[in-house]
């Protein structure tokens, strides 16, 4: 899956999947991210027990 911020590629003038679509599809298909990425998501409070938390999508995590 290709991810673009908000799904808009302004250079090529088309829409595609956005980063949040990847997380949604992963959760709908009961898939998990790579072990390294999942550990990072858990350390940031974005994921717990293989599911996204309420903190997922909160940009203030990175300020």
pLDDT tens-digit series, residues 10-42: 677 777 777 778 888 888 999 999 999 999 999
Q: What is the pLDDT of residue 6?
A: 64
Quote the domain boundaries for residue 28.
Answer: 5-62
Q: What is the pLDDT of residue 34?
A: 92
Is it the case that residue 56 has pLDDT exceeding 90? no
CA dist., res. 42 & res. 6, Å (int): 23
> Average pLDDT for residues 43-48, to the nearest whole number?
94
The number of domains in the chain is 1
> Is the pLDDT higher at 53 or at 19?
53
pTM for the whole structure? 0.69
């Amino acid at each position: 899956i290709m991810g673009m911020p908000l799904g808009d590629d302004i250079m090529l003038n088309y829409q595609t999947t956005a980063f949040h679509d990847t997380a949604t599809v992963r959760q709908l298909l009961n898939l998990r991210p790579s072990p390294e990425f999942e550990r990072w998501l858990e350390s940031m409070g974005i994921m717990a027990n293989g599911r996204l938390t309420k903190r997922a999508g909160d940009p203030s995590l990175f300020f």
